[in-house]
Structure 1
Amino acid sequence: MKRELAKLIAGQVCLHACMTGMRMAAPLMALRSGQSEAAVGVLLALFALTQVFLALPAGRYADTHGLKRPVMWSVLTSFVGAGMAALWPIFPVLCVSALLTGGATGAAVIALQRHVGRAAQDLTQLKQAFSWLAIGPAISNFIGPFTAGLLIDHAGFQWAYGAMALLPLLAWCWVRKTRELPSYVKPEGHEKNSAWDLLNAPMFRRLMLVNWFLSACWDVHTFVVPIMGHERGLSASAIGSILGAFAIAAALIRIGLPFLVAHLKEWQVLTGAMLISSVFLALYPLMNTALSMGCCSVLLGFSLGSVQPMVMSTLHQITPESRHGEAIGLRLMGINASSVVMPIVFGAAGAVIGIGGVFWSVSALVGLGSRSAYLLRIGKKNG
């Protein structure tokens, strides 16, 4: 299990790094070629947009075909997307590349998460496996942009896109020898169930609500902190350092999670994360220096970085095994839809109640919503 998990994490890192590298390089090239900020915003949104619409079909495909076939198609799609940008680095092609690499990464993540959840032998192993798997995106968020940035500075954009196109091929080298798990046949009479039927289960609805609350915390930090830093008169490097500290903290807590989860229940981690996040979101607008904002950012990163493995572990326990792919797809669809919509909501709300008001509103929402995370305990106990 450990060796296979390491290979899957390496494959996830390579595929995700292709997308994150493209997500850094393509907007930068668009700005340097004279595109407007609005056009660049659309380009960035396209990386998430495909995942909103493909998440459920990708989940069903993974339920039917397992791990390797979905990952193979994702590898080919990412390779084509990044390769097109390397051959024809113009804005319309960059938009197509964003759609292809974003959608392929989302589809591969669903197949990988489904496989890892099914391969776990017990609850402790389930939580530990998802904790290790969650480290992958943190690593790729560094590798992709860093590699692309170096190549842009020393060789040019087309070489950077070419390197990103090679990463999915490396991912396939890691994943292709993974042993497929036996397929799970849906019970008779359930072959044509809609994924939306999952929302009829109170536990699943509660988990999706908790997932959305925590996703909103992540979004408000990513979107509003640069605006707040600008209002405070901080430099671009200081604002970047604050956001970087958040990412590092989120990665560090995920490294420590596999050793902690054996002693903690999922509902305990989720409830604690929501309460802690509520406190630090409320304190954020009161911070006036880069150092104090950085401290808040680190503590918030520790809190929010711990939740994804717990959400995934709970999801695999409360949904039928034959529909794990659909459930993961529905979760991913909600996260990406939130990432598209919430910045618009935050921007409009900030114009009316101010940036501090946005933080305090989300803080109150998440604090009150922590009851949903606590009730996951009651549901699992009764179930």
Structure 2
Amino acid sequence: MTESRSWLLRLVIAFSLAQGAVSMARPAVSYRALSLGADERAIGVIAGVYALLPLFAAVPLGRRTDHGRCAPLLPVGVVLMSGGCALSAAAGSLAAMAAWSGVMGLGHLCFVIGAQSIVARQSAPAEQDRNFGHFTIGASLGQLVGPVAAGAVIGGDLARTSGYALLAAAAVAAASLASLWRIEHRTPPRPREDRTTVPVRSILRTRGVPAGILISLAVLSATDILTAYLPVIGEHRGIAPAVVGVLLSLRAAATIACRLVMTPMIRLMGRRGLLTTTCLIGGLLCGGIALPVPLWALAAMLILLGFCLGAGQPLSMTTVVQAAPADARSTALALRLTGNRLGQVAAPAGAGLVAGLAGAATPFVLTGALLALSSAAALRRPRPAGPPEASSVPGSRPGHPAEQGNRHA
């Protein structure tokens, strides 16, 4: 592999390890909280705190990367993730669990903002769909291995074994540092007088940005609810933690499969059609998890759901990057992540309240409705913006809806 492409492979490896650590830690946090006496509402609050600190930090970090280097955010994120996992293992109260979960979430945000900004900055327009798709395969690989590893460790004495899982997650996160050397291409810094700061309101009013944010929020909320509440469903239905880990990994494997075949699907359906279809079907499947189906049917639903969820994240990244002004792409990606974290705060906390009142399966119905709403946002045709841009999918037809001008308001 040439040096010009090795940065992407190393970034995917690092993201796989970082996401694997988080995907291992999140179920472990839920099980450790259960061992400390948490109910469904408390689980929702702890899952929401994971996103609370990032909710306020995303835009300032995005501003920083728009006018500076992205790579320094990556090791900072790794240290915070690893520390949050290790300290969660030692926590003896639900309040401490929530606090260290927030540190873990802040570390994950730092890592993701830095990594996404590197992909956006170092990818030509014609490579963005492919490179963001490969980048998010790293996340899916982590989501594939992490829950299985957690399920293999956790069992019996939940307090002790969930602590072991959290310590293992801390070590995996730290291992990602090995892939981060010279990850960012060196470019001369822009003169300060040439830098422009695009107002957040202007970015949010740009056609394509709000839809990308909503789609990303809905898809991530669905993934987050699955990670936090499938263990609770498993406890209620008598499904062992190891089996829950396998079910979560089946979902992640299907997401990887989707991203591996995403380019031909875009050629066939267009970006807008693919987003609309996958969000709508994903919403129906997510709501179906609330039904008391046999284990094999639950596994089949999770596989199909994972495939549908695979398209939303990378294509929403491309949508936001291509819609945003050139001087505000990292900030636009940070706004997208702010929307993600807002969903991660509101969805689990709301889900915890609803689960406490109406049962642990109810959050899946609400998340399915959110996915269906996002499919309507994806259906909206972008406003024509002059001559069509060069296709970002090799072999696409000029003017294809997947690639038509999304750069302007």
TM-score normalized with structure 2 length? 0.75
Matches within 5 A, 1:59-138: 59-84=62-87, 89-91=91-93, 94-123=97-126, 125-138=127-140
Pair 1:10–1:240, CA change in 2 (3 A) = closer
Counterpart selection for 1:173 from 166, 178, 185: 178
- Structure 2 residue 52 is the aligned partner of structure 1 residue 49: yes
Matches within 5 A, 1:1-383: 1-32=4-35, 34-37=36-39, 41-84=44-87, 89-91=91-93, 94-123=97-126, 125-147=127-149, 161-182=166-187, 185=190, 191-215=196-220, 217-218=222-223, 235-236=239-240, 242-257=247-262, 260-261=265-266, 265-281=270-286, 288-346=293-351, 366-367=371-372, 369-379=374-384, 380-381=404-405, 383=408
Residue pair 2:148, 2:246 contacting (<8 A) in 1 also? no
1:280-327 CA-to-partner distances (Å, cap 9, x unmatched) read 456666674333333333222211112211111111111122212211
- Supply the distance in 1 between the matched residues of 2:67 and 2:175 (Cα, whole angstroms): 25
- SS of the aligned residue for 2:182 comes to coil
Structure having the larger proportion of residues in helix: 1
Residue pair 2:207, 2:323 contacting (<8 A) in 1 also? no
Partner AA of 2:81 in structure 1: S
Moved more, 175-184 or 245-254: 175-184
Residue pair 2:258, 2:310 contacting (<8 A) in 1 also? yes
Residue pair 1:267, 1:377 contacting (<8 A) in 2 also? no
Partner AA of 1:137 in structure 2: A
Pair 1:365–1:46, CA change in 2 (3 A) = closer
1:122-156 CA-to-partner distances (Å, cap 9, x unmatched) read 32x21111111111122222444555666678997
Residue pair 2:209, 2:320 contacting (<8 A) in 1 also? yes
Shift of 1:105: 1.2
Residue pair 1:47, 1:103 contacting (<8 A) in 2 also? yes
- SS of the aligned residue for 2:124 comes to coil
Residue pair 2:148, 2:245 contacting (<8 A) in 1 also? no
Partner AA of 2:212 in structure 1: L
Shift of 1:64: 2.8
Query: Between the two proteins, what is the percent identity of the paired residues?
Result: 22
- Supply the distance in 2 between the matched residues of 1:221 and 1:22 (Cα, whole angstroms): 14
- Paired residues, number: 379
Moved more, 132-141 or 191-200: 191-200
Moved more, 163-172 or 304-313: 163-172
Residue pair 1:18, 1:164 contacting (<8 A) in 2 also? yes
Pair 1:348–1:136, CA change in 2 (3 A) = same
Shift of 1:81: 3.5
- Supply the distance in 2 between the matched residues of 1:174 and 1:163 (Cα, whole angstroms): 19
- Supply the distance in 1 between the matched residues of 2:167 and 2:234 (Cα, whole angstroms): 35
Residue pair 1:128, 1:261 contacting (<8 A) in 2 also? no
1:1-47 CA-to-partner distances (Å, cap 9, x unmatched) read 43211100111122233333333444444544x44335555443332
- Supply the distance in 2 between the matched residues of 1:348 and 1:156 (Cα, whole angstroms): 28
Pair 1:143–1:375, CA change in 2 (3 A) = same
Residue pair 2:282, 2:308 contacting (<8 A) in 1 also? yes
TM-score normalized with structure 1 length? 0.80
Residue pair 1:281, 1:363 contacting (<8 A) in 2 also? yes
